[in-house]
Amino acid sequence: MRRAAASCGVLGAIDVTTVQLLAWILGALGLQALAGIAIAVWRRGQAVEQPAGELPQPKPTSSNGAWQGLRKFRVAQRCFEDVARSQCSFRLEPLDGQPLPPFKPGQYLTFTIDARGGAAATAGRHITRCYSLSDRPAPDHYRVTIKRVGAPADHPDWPPGFSSNHFHDQVQTGDVVQARAPAGNFFIDAQSDVPVVLIAGGIGITPMMSMLRWCVREQPGRTVHLYYGVRQGCEHAFKADLAALASTHHQVRLQVVYSQAAADDQVGVDYQHAGRVDLALLQRRLPHGRHQFYLCGPGAMMESLVPALAQWGVPEADIHFEAFGPASVRLPSAAAQAASPAGPFEVRFSRSGRSVHWQGADGRLLDFAERHGIPVESGCRSGGCGSCETRLLSGAVAYAAAPDHDVQPGHCLLCVATPASDLVLEA
């Protein structure tokens, strides 16, 4: 009897343990199902919160830290850099809080802007513009400086620049913008200690500020000559910053030139020279010896000064430049290559309904189109951003060097392309 009772006790214990085990399994399955439902609801909520038409988010970064695609930045601060309030700087901090990759002083950021509802809406849903970085590299922020672009003086009936006015009027502190990683082939040679000559005209001062601030921080023994030309004092950007850098760093030699000084602009106080930055001024002021030249400014300044430096005897390897706006800037070696038999070719702009004859001296297709009043989207003007990419309906183009942007088959980059035959372009 005791043995039988003991057996019954064991069976009872087994039955209770089995029931408990089944209850635990069923409970775990229930919790797993609830967790799956919660995750699905959360993901659905996230999809609802994402604005319609949101541009693709950046892909994983490359080995050097640069990201692919667009990255979101919050505007942490904005401030005007001149009395006329025509040049505004934007401090941009990454929305994801991750460190920013270093860039090469002189490079730019490429922004994508929603153009719907604005004057540029006919150009497409988004437009692309490039703006130079105006500070030395830092892991927590970038800074760009943007000049408001009005209607051209010779075409006052044309609309003002959409992107620059959008930034000035619409982009405020706390807003979010989207940009691609720093890019561009115009940057200071960080491996050299040769004295630097920075030459800026107008808003061309922005990449020079990046180079200057980098030199002061990273190469304090390197002599930097800065020649900065503007019309008058109200357009003199970074005036206090430049004066402070020149007064506190003995290696910074500042020369400011006003072409149309106002009545209250004082020579020797606000500026050092009247007129324009030209070769004669450089020959008077620069000490003898080798220098590396970096130039950025409007077309007229670049077209005259870049060849003049080469004719003065500056080695082409020491002349680096970037023009903004239409410009045909060539060093003698490039001009000799361009002088090879080419054209005339007929270039038809299909959308605009215009046919224009291109001669060998007419240069790149973007400048050529702008000179004939044919509107074309553009950004970096150096083959990097792809904003001027245009469908090539017939014919062939040539590039002096392979563009950085990956051009789609059947398309071409107008900013760096020249005709190799008669062309029909979609623009």
Q: What is the pLDDT along the chain (427 residues), one digit of tens a residue?
A: 333 333 344 334 444 455 565 566 656 666 665 555 554 544 444 433 333 344 455 554 555 568 988 999 999 999 999 999 999 999 999 999 999 999 999 999 999 988 765 554 444 567 889 999 999 999 999 999 999 999 877 778 878 888 999 999 999 999 999 999 999 989 999 999 999 999 999 999 999 999 999 999 999 999 999 999 999 999 999 999 999 999 999 999 999 999 999 999 999 999 999 999 999 999 999 999 999 999 999 988 998 999 999 999 999 999 999 877 665 676 766 555 554 446 799 999 999 999 999 988 888 899 899 889 898 888 788 888 888 999 999 999 999 878 878 899 999 999 989 999 999 999 8
Distance CA 415, CA 427 (A): 13
d(CA 422, CA 63): 42
SS3 state at 89 = strand
Kindly list the structural domains of the chain, giving each domain's residue range(s) and its CATH number in brackets, ordered by start.
Answer: 71-179 (2.40.30.10), 196-336 (3.40.50.80), 340-425 (3.10.20.30)
Please check whether residue 405 is in contact with residue 389, taking contact to mean a CB–CB distance below 8 angstroms. Answer: yes
Separation of alpha carbons 387 and 406, rounded Å: 12
Q: Residue 87: in which H helix or E strand, if any?
A: strand 87-94
**Which pTM value belongs to this model?**
0.77
Sheet containing 224-230: give its strands across: 273-274, 252-258, 224-230, 196-201, 292-298, 319-324
Those residues with Cβ within 8 angstroms of residue 328's Cβ, 6 or more apart along the chain or in another chain = 299, 303, 363, 364, 367
